[in-house]
Amino acid sequence: MSGGWNTIESDAGVFTFLLNNLGVQDVQFEELLTLEPDSLAALYPVHGVIFLFKYPTDTPYTSTDKPLDGTFDHDAAERIWFAAQTIQNACGTQALLSVLMNKEGEVDIGGPLHEFKEFTMALPPEFRGEALSNSELIRDAHNSFAKSSPFVDETQRTGGETEDAFHFVAYTPVDGVLYELDGLQPAPISHGACTAEDFPVKVTEVLQRRVARYDLSEIRFNLLAMVRDRRATARELGDFETLAREEQKRRDWQFENALRRHNFVGFAGAVLSRVVDAKLKEGGEAAYNKWIEDAKAKTRQRLESRKKGGGDGDVEMDG
């Protein structure tokens, strides 16, 4: 494993099993598709949320004076777990830790993370960030969910168009206050009084104000809620239908995570080679060439149809 931190997806299954691998018990993530308080309240108890958004480049993002919303609480940085972000590609893991570390007592964070928290709470935020960047335990767990790519080295970008940058921040109620925990800011940001019961309404209001600052065409946001393991709740209630559905969800997440780690280039090459051999055996080189030309024609037809705004019966998803 390299010493760097690789990019991981904002995905409920990734973050759930990332925490599991760090020894955290009875916690999972759920993706929210709307900014409605009822959707979040339905997942009660909610420990916090992690918000992914496009990093703004047209206006200053950080400030030492006053944030765009809320107020800096410099004293809170000594009382709660807050770390400055000192490394790239780790903001997702740092955001989930920002919620988790402040929920010990409500959540069993496990022995390794308890020891890490005990050690880092004695440090100022900037050194907590350094300690996080140097934690082999957390880095290895994080990197184990990185996509396998034989073509792209995230640490060696050169030239070309500038890609959009995205960032994670955490929101969680701590000691009766709703905090925004963002390692790029100089301190925790207070959004006022907030109980666990108030959290769905209060955090939704904050997020709606944040989204409203973007152009209406910007829709690339993602919201994940850290909640209690829904299987445990289903067992307590005797809700075996929900339990079965949640168990299937875990199996699906495990399968998807396994796919993320696998490099399919060799497999795709082997399949293509077998297809070419089959075409050559069917009708020789002439049949093979016709197959290629037919494929090119269909591709041109699809491209022309897309330029005209039409469809050709195929459903395509643009990333």
pLDDT in tens, 70-86: 999 999 998 999 999 98
Is residue 14 within 8 A of residue 252, CB to CB? The reply is no
The first and second tokens of residue 100, run together, are 């988790």
149 part of a folded domain: yes
147 has pLDDT over 60: yes
Q: What digits encode the pLDDT tens for the residues 262-303?
A: 555 565 566 667 777 777 777 777 777 787 788 888 888 887
* Parallel, antiparallel or unpaired: strands 189-193 and 177-181: antiparallel
Task: Point out the catalytic residue in the list 47, 142, 167, 191.
Answer: 167
Judgement on whether residues 173 and 285 belong to the same structural domain of the protein: no
Is residue 142 within 8 A of residue 22, CB to CB? The reply is no
- By 3-state DSSP, what share of the chain in percent is helix, strand and coil, each rounded to 5? 45, 15, 40
Q: What digits encode the pLDDT tens for the residues 165-219?
A: 788 999 999 999 999 999 999 999 999 999 999 999 999 999 999 988 887 767 7
Helix axes 12-21, 240-261, angle to 10 degrees: 90
Upstream peptide bond of 45 is cis (omega within 30 degrees of 0): yes
Domain boundary among the residues 178, 210, 228 is at 228
23 part of a folded domain: yes
216 part of a folded domain: yes
HSE toward the beta carbon, residue 23, CA cutoff 13 A: 13
Judgement on whether residues 199 and 306 belong to the same structural domain of the protein: no
290 part of a folded domain: yes
Q: What digits encode the pLDDT tens for the residues 119-143?
A: 999 999 999 999 999 999 999 999 8
Task: Point out the catalytic residue in the list 91, 142, 191, 194.
Answer: 91
23 closest CA partner among 99, 111, 143, 101? 111
- In the sheet with 222-228, reading across from the earlier edge strand, the strands are 27-32, 222-228, 46-54, 166-174, 177-181, 189-193, 71-72
Is residue 228 within 8 A of residue 26, CB to CB? The reply is yes
106 part of a folded domain: yes
The question of whether 142 is a catalytic residue gets the answer: no
Judgement on whether residues 157 and 283 belong to the same structural domain of the protein: no
Q: What digits encode the pLDDT tens for the residues 50-74?
A: 999 887 666 666 777 889 899 999 9
Task: Return the HEC string of 115-147.
Answer: HHHHHHCCCCHHHHHHHHHCCHHHHHHHHCCCC
The question of whether 47 is a catalytic residue gets the answer: no
Judgement on whether residues 268 and 195 belong to the same structural domain of the protein: no
**Host domain of residue 292:** 264-311
Is residue 27 within 8 A of residue 47, CB to CB? The reply is yes
298 part of a folded domain: yes
